[in-house]
Amino acid sequence: MKVLIVALMFVAILGFSTPATASHFNGLDVPGALTVVRGGLEWAWAAPCAPEAPSCGGVPLVMHHGFHIASSAEFAGSFAGLEDLFTAFAGGATCASAYFNSGHDHCDGVNVWPPGGIYTLTVWNAPVTGGWSDNAGNMDFSETFVVRGAVPEPASLILLGAGLAAMLVSRKRSV
């Protein structure tokens, strides 16, 4: 019984150790409502400009809470292309730029999708082949996405804790 209580306390501590919300970038994590989990990674739309010079904002991004600028391989492993990326982030409505000190508090969905518009489609570090063939590559007005390892869901933590408790109880009975 003591083992079960300890295991449940462990799960509760893990489940509540990360803040779920934040009002603006001030060292707090990005709210879950502004991130997308794909390909085992947690994604955030961090800026409507490039993350480094030349950049239309001129203000460098501030990385925090394990986020880093997404790589071409991470994009390819998580999204089928520009349209899939655009749809996953609700056309710019799921925007976390205010949390990365980009000098902007919005995301420009028209710069990602649809093709044939007046804008050049640009996503920093995204592939330029396959479903990404419309991507113009790294330019000063490229949209910047950041990524980190996905945060486990509370249900996963409960299952992990229950499994650990069962193993401990089983081990205790066999001794």
Tens of pLDDT, residue by residue over 109-122, are 888 887 766 778 99
Tokens describing residue 143: 């949209």
Same domain for 93 and 159, yes or no, is no
Same domain for 10 and 85, yes or no, is no
The structural domain count of the chain equals 2
Tokens describing residue 74: 């991470």
Tokens describing residue 75: 């994009």
Same domain for 71 and 139, yes or no, is yes
Among 48-52, 84-88, 151-155, the minimum mean pLDDT is found in: 151-155
Tokens describing residue 166: 């069962």
Give the model confidence (pLDDT) of 120-142 as tens digits.
899 999 999 999 999 998 988 89
DSSP state of 39: T
- Structural domain range at position 121: 24-150
Same domain for 135 and 84, yes or no, is yes
Give the model confidence (pLDDT) of 27-71 as tens digits.
679 999 999 999 999 999 999 989 887 788 677 788 999 999 999
Same domain for 122 and 162, yes or no, is no
Same domain for 95 and 166, yes or no, is no
Strand partners, 41: 38, 149
Short-list 31, 9, 14, 27, CA closest to 95: 31
pLDDT band at 154 (very low <50, low <70, confident <90, very high): low
